[in-house]
């Protein structure tokens, strides 16, 4: 991975006061250059994330199985099914 400074491949300027005096050395870059650096860093992060996830999937043990979750069957159309409330009557009254 690159360091943050490696994404800025543009000239940096020295910060000065309006009087012309030099301020402490603070690198200043143009907005568009900073925006390009951030976009490049985000693109690299997405690529790194993809490679990491692919490596994790490939290195996962094959014997690892996920448990089967019980699946409720849907009622047949036209049958009379009873609808139960999600909350009890006391909970509904408290709200």
pLDDT tens-place string over residues 61-77 = 766 566 777 777 776 77
Angstrom distance (rounded) from CA 84 to CA 70: 20
Mean pLDDT for 14-28 is 73
Single pTM value for the model: 0.47
Q: How confident is the model at residue 88 (pLDDT cuts 50, 70, 90)?
A: confident
What angle (nearest 5°) sits at the alpha carbon of residue 15, between those of residues 9 and 18? Answer: 145
- Name the domain count of the chain: 1
Domain-embedded: residue 65: no
Residue 19, in any domain of the structure: no
Q: Which domain holds residue 55?
A: 30-60
pLDDT in tens, 50-63: 888 888 888 877 66
Instruction: Tell me if 37 is assigned to some domain.
Output: yes
């Amino acid at each position: 991975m690159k360091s943050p400074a490696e994404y800025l491949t543009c000239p940096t300027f020295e910060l000065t006061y309006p009087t012309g005096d030099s301020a402490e050395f603070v690198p200043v870059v143009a907005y568009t250059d900073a925006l390009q650096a951030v976009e490049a860093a985000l693109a690299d992060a997405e690529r790194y994330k993809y490679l990491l996830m692919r490596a994790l999937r490939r290195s996962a043990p094959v014997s690892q199985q996920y448990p089967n979750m019980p699946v409720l069957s849907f009622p047949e159309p036209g049958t009379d099914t009873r609808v139960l409330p999600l909350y009890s009557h006391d909970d509904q009254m408290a709200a």
